[in-house]
Amino acid sequence: MSDREKSKEQLIEELESLRQAVAELKTTKIAFDAQNELFRTLVTMVQTSSGKLMLKSMLQQTLNLARRLTNAEEGSLFLLDADGLVTESLLARGATIREQRQRLVGEVLDKGLAGWVFRHRQVGLITDTVHDERWLTLHNQPYAVRSALGIPILKGKMLLGILTLMHSQPEHFGPESAQLMQMTAEQMALILDNVQLYAERHQADKELRQIQEQLPGGEEFSLLGIYIIFGEGNFLYANPRFAEIFGYTFGELVSLESVLHLIAIDNRKFFIEQMNQCLQGYSKGLSCKVRGHRKDGSLIDVEVYGTRTKLYGKFVIIGALRLI
């Protein structure tokens, strides 16, 4: 092969390399623009809505953006907690009654593309649903699907959500769409994680205010020991007043393995039962009087109020405690 022919070959290789670089830059820019749009939407949502409404609205905006980027005709989005359970969902068929929605979500997570994405934690590309066993056609499905794209929304190793995009024509989605959505999903994870935490904290604040209203005389928060516990009574949070009531420094208190260290031994069985009833959803809330055990060994009578809510994807009890 002559030097001239080698030069042509090298030029062709360089040209192809440049084309790939340009294509990657275009994809990166699209993903970056999508990130900016999601951030702007989040800022607007924080200013105009709160709680569950903000979370639902942000999920809808995220799904709308994904459909627009890929020209998808339909789409669904599931939001998952730390245990892998679906906490919120947007279905392609739109609003449905709760029982029907739960059944549909269960079916696709068991036998459909979303379930495959859930198990493998990777993008699922279906060029033709007729020839791919990962696709599940639902009963009375009101839309046709021949190509589909399933995207995991990951925060590290934790699966925050599953996005499914659909089109009535085969081969509508290809490797380029898959790469674009994989890049965009990283930004979606950041946004959805933050909006979920914001909604949970807003709900927690609301429930604390409700607890304060239940207290005799509507005591000021400065006089109350505020706490958040989960699992076997482990502290997630306690305020300085809570520590003061039991004679601990704040650092000593939050390092305790369990709130049970603060309960008199002969009252622990009763308190565990009350706490578990609340955490498992068998009672509306926690409301009881117990004998407390201070750091210096002295005993005090306290009244404990609390309510079950979700924080960071897990059930917790958030509440207040006061001296009797």
Residue 321 pairs with which residues in a beta bridge? 225, 304
CB 30 within 8 A of CB 180: yes
72 pLDDT band (50/70/90 cuts)? very high
1 pLDDT band (50/70/90 cuts)? very low
Q: What are phi and psi of 320, to 5 degrees?
A: -140, 155
What is the spatial order of strands in the sheet that 225-230 belongs to?
A: 234-238, 225-230, 314-323, 299-311, 286-293
CA angle 203–205–210, rounded 5-degree value: 95
The mean per-residue pLDDT over the stretch 32-51 comes to 59
Strand residues in 146-298 grouped as ranges (E):
147-155, 158-167, 225-230, 234-238, 286-293
Residue 322 pairs with which residues in a beta bridge? 303
What's the chain's length in residues?
324
177: Cα separation from own chain's centroid: 24
Q: Which of 36-40, 123-127, 138-142, 182-186 has the lowest mean pLDDT?
A: 36-40
CATH number of 215-323: 3.30.450.20
In tens, the pLDDT along 202-251 reads 666 666 666 666 555 555 556 788 888 887 788 888 888 899 999 998 88
Q: Residue 207: its pLDDT value, please?
A: 65
Of 18 and 286, more confident:
286
Q: Residue 48: its pLDDT value, please?
A: 53
In tens, the pLDDT along 85-137 reads 888 888 887 767 777 888 888 999 999 999 999 999 999 999 999 999 999 99
Dist CA 66 CA 302 (whole Å) = 52
CB 178 within 8 A of CB 148: no
- In the chain, CATH 3.30.450.40 covers 3-203
CA angle 119–122–54, rounded 5-degree value: 90
CB 195 within 8 A of CB 42: yes
- In the chain, CATH 3.30.450.20 covers 215-323
pTM of this prediction exceeds 0.85: no
- In the predicted structure, residue 321 carries a pLDDT above the cut 80: yes
Q: How far is CA 227 from CA 220, 252, 322, in A?
A: 15, 14, 11
- In the predicted structure, residue 50 carries a pLDDT above the cut 60: no
- In the predicted structure, residue 78 carries a pLDDT above the cut 60: yes
40 pLDDT band (50/70/90 cuts)? low
Residue 307 pairs with which residues in a beta bridge? 318
What is the spatial order of strands in the sheet that 124-126 belongs to?
A: 86-90, 74-80, 158-167, 147-155, 124-126
Q: Residue 2: its pLDDT value, please?
A: 47
- In the predicted structure, residue 317 carries a pLDDT above the cut 90: no
CB 82 within 8 A of CB 158: yes
Of 99 and 46, more confident:
99
- Please count the helices (runs of H) and the strands (runs of E) in the chain: 8, 10
Cβ neighbours, 10 Å, residue 162? 25
Q: Residue 114: its pLDDT value, please?
A: 95
> Which of 149, 11, 15, 137 has its CA nearest to residue 70?
149
Q: How far is CA 23 from CA 10, 28, 52, in A?
A: 20, 9, 39
- In the predicted structure, residue 304 carries a pLDDT above the cut 80: yes
Q: Residue 123: its pLDDT value, please?
A: 95
Place of tokens 């959803």: 281
Q: Residue 223: its pLDDT value, please?
A: 76
In tens, the pLDDT along 140-175 reads 888 899 999 999 999 888 899 999 999 999 999 999
Dist CA 272 CA 262 (whole Å) = 12
Place of tokens 């929304």: 153
Q: Residue 150: its pLDDT value, please?
A: 96
- In the predicted structure, residue 3 carries a pLDDT above the cut 50: no
In tens, the pLDDT along 241-296 reads 899 999 998 888 878 888 999 999 999 999 999 999 988 888 878 889 999 999 99
Q: Going by C-beta distance under 8 Å and a sequence separation of 6 or more, which residues neighbour residue 67?
A: 73, 74, 75, 165
Q: Residue 254: its pLDDT value, please?
A: 77
Q: Which fold has domain 3-203?
A: Beta-Lactamase (3.30.450)
